[in-house]
């Protein structure tokens, strides 16, 4: 009975638990409920992935209203993988959040914090699982609005302006998406994604569909922080509470990349989007610029959260680069990097949250000598950094390997070189942090007063994600297997 | 091309551009939210005006009527209006907090205070 309704439960459980958190009033009770729900969501997403891998795409009609009139939740290999990413990050961040949030937010805001976090989780899961284009917009706005709230809860007053800037830009992006969906509805009369895929080809040269394509491309690019539209991201990540930065960095942009994949490969079709309208000719140069420019900008940052935020924009460039190859290996590279980057960046931001808890700052100069005083935390940062660079035996290496392979397959030697140069730039900015933590002497007066290691409730989730990023660099059968299946499905080779 | 017959789309385009311009060009945070609202309203008009069927009546089953206007865009826009209201409420709440923190809602003054801090 539960197994038959997995898709609906995946959304309903976090969605109903969110107001329940608010009603619980006390922070600890709200946290505990949120923890249980996040772990339940993870179990549900694992079950869904196994069902999809065994039996092919699942189609679930909400309320038993038949598609295309009713809203359909359609889970295939791509969805199920992204659902797993989002649910896994949520399940890891929630145990961490208790101490982190207790330290960074006043007691009166805790219940509201967990409410917003569960709403964000429900929204992100909803965007991923739905098979209806307008439903996607609704869930996107649910997740976006709750993430504006979460970011605004940061201690620094600049969190407020960062959240406001993200609100303006994020709403513009989502409104562009809804304009695109409206125009598609005008041209085809349906909102169901699979139905749209069938009805677009006959009207594909009408101006309405072309403009819808353009609006959807710009809207999705804004939400996923593709190069010139990334301006909201550094401030939002730098000033948000630590648990929020880790959660959003590992989920929000990945789900937006999924939106891009879903609209341009499934709804419009790879042939229309890339052979006819050559969207990849727009995405690839922007991705290259994102990788090179944002990695370089990251080198000059003194605030490590801001450094990692610019690094995230560069890593999103890698994902878009992989997707832009429009080949099975390129798409596999892009999708596997979705997973790997979520693990790596999530782990890195969680480690930074541990640092912020103990020394109250995440600036490089304040982290001098921290390698000796907080060995476990900083070692997890080093491992995460190695994975970000793409050292062999880490997950980052797998992503870079597949990206370079996809580039060489198409004879694009310049793009393979860009991937490698990006890794070299990552070495520089990771080295800046590592040098400060391990090679610089501790600031005066602190060497005698030892800073304690971070509490276990924060260390364990950090190490879970960092070890995951190492493990999935050694045993790639699950991640690459699912990603390859997803890529083949998106390109229409296999269901 | 039936330009006068497409006047609803002209209204949409004009409102959208006005809203977009206000968001981008105004320095006052409240005005940005107002511009965002105008921008979203243009999208509502786009959806609703496309739902009207010529010769169709309101989508309530009645005797003797065979052609009805499409109710689906109306449903979609009700949802979108709620989303717009929530966004406006959130934006204004953020502005209240920003005013408490910085004492002003002018973007350049806030930027100055942040640079000086």
Nearest 5°: phi and psi at B27?
-95, -15
The two three-digit tokens of residue A61, written as one number: 């009609």
Residue contact A148–B43, C-beta within 8 A: no
> B 57-96 residues with CB below 8 A of A?
72-73, 76, 79-80, 83, 86-87, 90-91, 94-95
pLDDT tens sequence for chain A (495 residues): 778 888 999 999 999 999 999 999 888 999 999 999 999 999 999 999 999 999 889 999 888 888 778 899 999 999 999 999 999 999 999 999 999 999 999 999 999 999 999 999 999 999 999 999 999 999 999 999 999 999 999 999 999 999 999 999 999 999 999 999 999 999 999 999 999 999 999 998 899 999 999 999 999 999 999 989 999 999 999 999 999 999 999 999 999 999 999 999 999 988 888 888 888 899 999 999 999 999 999 999 999 999 999 999 999 999 999 999 989 999 999 999 999 999 999 999 999 999 999 888 889 988 888 888 888 999 999 999 999 999 999 999 999 999 999 999 998 899 999 999 999 999 999 999 999 988 888 776 665 556 778 888 899 999 999 999 999 999 888 899 999 999 998 988 544
ipTM score: 0.94
Judging contacts by C-beta atoms under 8 Å, the chain B residues touching residue A141 are 83, 86-87
- Give the DSSP letter string of A9-67: HHHHHHHHHHHHHHHT-SHHHHHHHHHHHHHHHHHHHHHHHHHHHHH--EEEEGGGPPT
Residue B51 near chain A (CB below 8 Å) = no
Report the alpha-carbon distance of residue A173 to residue A167 in Å, rounded: 10
Q: How many CB atoms lie within 10 A of CB A5?
A: 12
Element (H, E) at A75: strand A72-75
CA–CA min distance A369, chain B (Å) = 27
Instruction: Give Cβ neighbours of residue A309 (< 8 Å, ≥ 6 apart).
Output: A233, A234, A236, A237, A238, A249
Q: Is A325 helix (H, G, I), strand (E, B) or coil?
A: coil
Residue A249: closest CA among A259, A240, A258: A240
Contact A160 B50 (CB under 8 A): no
Residue of chain B minimizing CA distance to A157: B101
CA distance A62 to A60: 6
Q: Does A456 touch chain B (CB under 8 A)?
A: no
């Amino acid at each position: 009975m539960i197994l038959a309704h997995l898709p609906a439960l995946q959304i309903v459980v976090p969605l109903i638990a969110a107001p329940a958190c608010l009603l619980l009033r006390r922070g600890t009770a709200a946290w505990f409920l949120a923890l249980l729900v996040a772990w339940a969501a993870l179990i549900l997403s694992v079950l869904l992935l196994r069902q999809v891998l065994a039996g092919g795409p699942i189609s679930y009609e909400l309320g038993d209203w038949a598609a295309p009139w009713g809203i359909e939740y359609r889970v295939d290999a791509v969805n199920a993988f992204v659902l797993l990413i989002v649910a896994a990050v949520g399940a890891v961040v929630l145990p961490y959040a208790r101490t982190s949030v207790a330290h960074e937010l006043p007691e009166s805001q805790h219940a509201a914090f967990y409410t917003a976090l569960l709403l964000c989780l429900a929204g992100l899961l909803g965007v991923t699982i739905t098979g209806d284009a307008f439903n996607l917009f609704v869930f996107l706005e649910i997740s976006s609005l709750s993430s504006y709230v979460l970011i605004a809860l940061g201690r620094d007053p600049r969190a407020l302006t960062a959240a406001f800037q993200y609100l303006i830009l994020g709403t513009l992006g989502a409104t562009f998406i809804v304009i695109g969906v409206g125009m598609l509805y005008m041209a085809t009369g349906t909102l169901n994604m699979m139905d749209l895929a069938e009805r677009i080809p006959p009207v594909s040269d009408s101006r309405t569909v072309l403009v819808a394509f353009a609006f959807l491309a710009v809207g999705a690019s804004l939400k996923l922080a593709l190069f010139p539209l990334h301006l909201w991201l550094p401030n939002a990540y730098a000033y948000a509470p630590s648990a929020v930065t880790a959660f959003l960095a590992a989920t929000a942009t990945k789900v937006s990349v999924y939106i891009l994949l879903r609209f341009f490969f499934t709804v419009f079709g790879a042939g229309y989007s890339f052979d006819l309208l050559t969207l990849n000719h727009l995405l690839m140069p922007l991705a290259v610029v994102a990788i090179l420019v944002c990695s370089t900008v990251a080198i000059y940052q003194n605030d490590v959260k801001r450094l990692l935020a610019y690094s995230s924009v560069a890593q999103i460039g890698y994902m878009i680069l992989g997707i832009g190859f429009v080949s099975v290996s390129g798409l596999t590279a892009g999708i596997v990097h979705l997973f790997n980057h979520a693990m790596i960046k999530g782990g890195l931001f969680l480690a930074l949250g541990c640092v912020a808890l103990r020394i109250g700052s995440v600036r490089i100069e304040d982290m001098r000598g921290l390698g000796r005083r907080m060995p476990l935390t900083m070692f997890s940062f080093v491992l995460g950094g190695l994975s970000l660079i793409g050292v062999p035996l880490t997950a980052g290496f797998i992503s870079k390997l597949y990206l370079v392979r996809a580039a060489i397959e198409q004879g694009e030697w310049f793009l393979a070189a860009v991937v490698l140069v990006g890794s070299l730039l990552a070495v520089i900015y990771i080295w800046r942090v590592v040098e400060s933590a391990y090679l610089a002497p501790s600031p005066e007066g602190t060497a005698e007063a030892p800073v304690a290691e971070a509490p276990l409730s924060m260390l364990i989730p950090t190490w879970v994600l960092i070890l995951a990023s190492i493990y999935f660099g050694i045993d790639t059968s699950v991640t690459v297997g699912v990603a390859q299946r997803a890529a083949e499905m998106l390109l229409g080779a296999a269901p | 091309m039936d330009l006068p017959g497409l006047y609803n789309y002209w209204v949409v385009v004009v409102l959208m551009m006005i809203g977009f311009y206000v968001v981008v060009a105004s320095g006052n945070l409240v005005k940005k939210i107002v511009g965002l609202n105008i921008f979203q309203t243009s999208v509502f008009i786009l959806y609703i005006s496309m739902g009207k069927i010529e010769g169709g009546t309101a989508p309530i089953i009645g005797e003797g009527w065979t052609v009805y206007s499409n109710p689906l865009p109306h449903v979609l826009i009700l949802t979108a209006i709620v989303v717009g209201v929530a966004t406006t409420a959130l934006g204004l709440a953020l502005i209240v907090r920003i005013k408490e923190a910085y004492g002003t809602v002018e973007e350049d003054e806030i930027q100055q205070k942040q640079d000086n801090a």
